[in-house]
Amino acid sequence: MTLDRVNLPALVALWARGVDSLVRSCAMDDLGELLAVRHEIAQRLRARPASAETRDLLKEFDDAFRALTTASAACIHGSDRAAAEGWTAAREWYFWRTASSA
């Protein structure tokens, strides 16, 4: 999926739909596309702040994603890629999450 042509409201809607699907199914097999959407959102927000309504909606689904996952000491893409990309656990927190064990 190419995300660079998708506007921010649509990206937030994709994130919301994806997280809602995870909440309903608890299937955490392939988070790659969903996390790519969240990363694109983060990059857009760094370039141009969003409305309060968008930030509130994003927070709601970020919190739901955090509730479904557990913080990890390691980036899901590995420490070499995280370093190369300049990702940090504080800023790209979604890459430092793993499926919660039931």
Map out the domains of the chain as residue ranges: 8-99
Looking at the whole model, is its pTM more than 0.75?
A: yes
Q: How far is CA 93 from CA 5, 7, 24, 25, in A?
A: 24, 22, 22, 22
Distance separating alpha carbons of residues 21 and 27, to the nearest angstrom: 8
By the 10 Å C-beta count (0-12 exposed, 13-18 middle, 19+ buried), 12 is classed as buried
| Cα–Cα dist 50/68, whole Å | 25
Tell me the Ramachandran region of residue 78: left when phi exceeds 0, alpha when psi lies from -120 to 50, beta otherwise: left
Per-residue pLDDT tens over the stretch 9-48: 999 999 999 999 988 887 776 688 999 999 999 999 999 9
Percent of the chain scored above 70 by pLDDT? Answer: 95
Per the CB < 8 A criterion, the answer to whether 75 and 4 are in contact is no
